[in-house]
């Protein structure tokens, strides 16, 4: 059993609050502070934290993150949190805490940039301020729909719809109202939703939902730190079976020929997963990453 292996035991025994739960509490708390500020404090803090033209005109780039924690009213907050609570727990389990945070706020940033630029150039059409977690949540939903295409989603808690079908519908609606910014939809940041969904789709298409696929900056930093090591691993020295000397074998020549899938996992994949558990994904060599990718392909064919 997978859970009996050494590299899984600590993770299964360790329990803590999920990031989804923490962020839900944070957004509720921030909304409460917004309400208190409205009635008693009257500070301009919301105009500093919401996404406004100042983000691009004066370099207030923190707004691309902070706007995702603010909400207009209770119904706006509730709508976002219902979807976030449902899809967030699933995607957090798929991505892990670190990548989940990067994916959520990264999709929100992409959506914020698209909506924000439209605000700058067409303020009369797209308003002057954006708040809400919906861009990031839209990105998470796009990831879910691509990974679980046939899953049934209860639209409005009643109507059963395939996840991928709902993604298409949501995307078409967002694209239409981005291109046709009618006053009837004023206040709805459709461009932010569209940007978030596109970022979520790209995340899955690039394979970043797999923890052994490096994110771009992880790859760049690894190349800077280990460029010598990467050069060595392009051509590895492997002892001959006779024990005399060695032959040079390309890293892409992986030791799975003649092995069953179970034998391949036990002899080659388990040690790599144990290494990840002890030293992190960044410790893997190029050859070890190729072995993991080969294992994923073989498991998919079973």
Taking the domains of the chain in order of start, what are their residue ranges?
17-205, 216-300
Distances (CA, A) of 264 to 19, 30, 254, 276: 35, 50, 10, 17
pLDDT given for residue 249 in this prediction:
46
Mean pLDDT (whole number) for 24-39: 98
Pairing mode, strands 235-239 and 246-250:
antiparallel
From the CB of residue 106, how many other CB atoms can be counted at a distance below 10 Å?
A: 20
pTM value?
Answer: 0.73
Alpha-carbon distance of 40 to 45, in angstroms, equals 13
Architecture of domain 17-205: Up-down Bundle (1.20)
Mean pLDDT (whole number) for 52-65: 96
The DSSP secondary structure of 244-276, one letter per residue, reads: SSEEEEETT--TTTT--HHHHIIIIIHHHHHHH
**CA-based nearest residue to 55, from 107, 103, 117:** 117
- Does residue 221 surpass a pLDDT of 90? no
pLDDT given for residue 243 in this prediction:
45
- Does residue 40 surpass a pLDDT of 80? yes
- Does residue 245 surpass a pLDDT of 80? no
């Amino acid at each position: 059993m997978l859970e009996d292996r050494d590299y899984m035991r600590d993770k299964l025994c360790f329990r803590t609050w999920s990031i989804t739960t923490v962020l839900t509490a944070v957004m509720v708390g921030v909304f409460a502070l917004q309400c208190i500020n409205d009635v008693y404090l009257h500070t301009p803090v919301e105009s500093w934290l919401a996404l406004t033209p100042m983000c691009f005109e004066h370099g207030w780039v923190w707004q691309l993150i902070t706007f995702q924690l603010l909400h207009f009213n209770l119904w706006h907050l509730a709508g976002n949190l219902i979807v976030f609570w449902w899809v967030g727990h699933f995607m957090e389990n798929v991505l892990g805490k670190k990548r989940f945070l990067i994916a959520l706020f990264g999709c929100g940033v992409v959506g914020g940039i698209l909506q924000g630029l439209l605000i700058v150039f067409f303020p009369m059409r797209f308003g002057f301020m954006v708040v809400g977690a919906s861009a990031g949540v839209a990105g998470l939903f796009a990831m879910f729909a691509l990974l679980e295409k046939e899953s049934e989603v209860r639209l409005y808690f009643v109507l059963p719809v395939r996840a991928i079908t709902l993604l298409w519908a949501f995307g078409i609606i967002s694209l239409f109202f981005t291109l046709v910014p009618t006053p009837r939809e004023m206040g709805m940041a459709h461009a932010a939703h569209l940007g978030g969904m596109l970022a979520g789709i790209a995340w899955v298409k690039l394979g970043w939902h797999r923890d052994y696929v490096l994110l771009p900056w992880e790859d760049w930093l690894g190349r800077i730190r280990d460029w010598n090591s990467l050069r060595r691993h392009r051509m590895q020295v492997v002892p001959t079976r006779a024990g005399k000397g060695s032959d040079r074998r390309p890293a892409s020549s992986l030791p799975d020929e003649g092995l069953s899938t179970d034998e391949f996992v036990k002899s080659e994949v388990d040690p790599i997963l144990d290494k990840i558990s002890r030293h992190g994904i960044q410790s893997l060599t190029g050859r070890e990453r190729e072995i993991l990718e080969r294992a994923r392909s073989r498991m998919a064919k079973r």
